Amino acid sequence: MTKKIIAFDADDTLWHNEPYFDEAQERFCALFQDFASSQEILGMILNHQVKNLPLYGFGIKAFTLSMIETALKITQNNITGTGIEKIIAIGKDLLEKPVELLPNVEEVLQELHGKYKLVVATKGDLKDQHRKLHDSKIGGYFHHIEVLSDKTELDYTKMLNRLECEPENLVMIGNSLKSDVLPILNLGGVGIHIPYHTTWEYEKIDFEIEHENFIALTNIKEVIGIL
């Protein structure tokens, strides 16, 4: 393969992320267990998140606001100031979680560094993703960090234009078929999927991908053998 730019998704591709959100949601459900079942509450949070995406985008701050809106709904606007404070604390705790790299990430970056332009292409809060990149200590491997407000074909096209890269020269690696793989395949790049053990509901798709530029791996270290 003679691709020039290798782009990595960050959350659940370079470092652990989704389990922290799962834990936060459990804390939220526990706060309101007298009002509704966990399943109902999780459904309501997701609805609020998806409805708010065009306004808030992705990330922890958007998630916190969606939790607050969910709490208002659950309590019929009777949540107390103390209740709001507890929800904000759940969000702030998320913003202070340690950054733990996934296995083999650093050795793969070491191997590819210098041979390709390496890029991070992630959604989420700008400040939070920059914090995580700093704390991960792997920022030095990357030529460019792109925090996208979404991962549509248009978002990726803008990124490619900034990088002066043709889509066919891009390989994108990530844990989300919906956000990291499908748009890239549609643009003409190569999409490599490396599943993480848990996936946010919003990122799930209910069909199989069959495409000549689609590569399914089980561990990031397999990237070395195919590039």
Q: Which is nearer to Mg ion, 32 or 196 (CB)?
A: 196
Pair of tokens at residue 157: 């096209």
Q: Between helices 18-31 and 60-74, what is the axis angle to 10°?
A: 20
Number of residues that bind Mg ion (CB under 5 A): 4
Pair of tokens at residue 13: 């591709």
Q: Which is nearer to Mg ion, 18 or 69 (CB)?
A: 18
Residue 168 C-beta: closest distance to Mg ion, Å: 23
Binding window for Mg ion (CB under 5 A); candidates: 5-13, 52-60, 64-72, 84-92: 5-13
Sheet with 190-193: strands ordered across = 144-147, 117-122, 5-8, 170-174, 190-193, 214-216
Place of tokens 């989300």: 176
Q: Which is nearer to Mg ion, 199 or 213 (CB)?
A: 199
Residues in the chain: 227
Residue 176 C-beta: closest distance to Mg ion, Å: 5
Residue 199 C-beta: closest distance to Mg ion, Å: 9
Bridge-based pairing state of the strands 214-216 and 144-147: unpaired
- What are the angstrom distances between the C-alpha of 102 and each of 12, 106, 224? 8, 9, 16
**By the rule CB under 5 A, 128 interacts with Mg ion:** no
- Of residues 7, 9, 71, 102, which one binds Mg ion by CB under 5 A? 9
- Of residues 5, 12, 109, 200, which one binds Mg ion by CB under 5 A? 12
Q: Which is nearer to Mg ion, 66 or 175 (CB)?
A: 175
Residue 37 C-beta: closest distance to Mg ion, Å: 28
**By the rule CB under 5 A, 146 interacts with Mg ion:** no
CA dist 183 and 193 (Å) reads 12
- Residues forming contacts to Mg ion in the complex (CB under 5 A) are 9, 11-12, 175
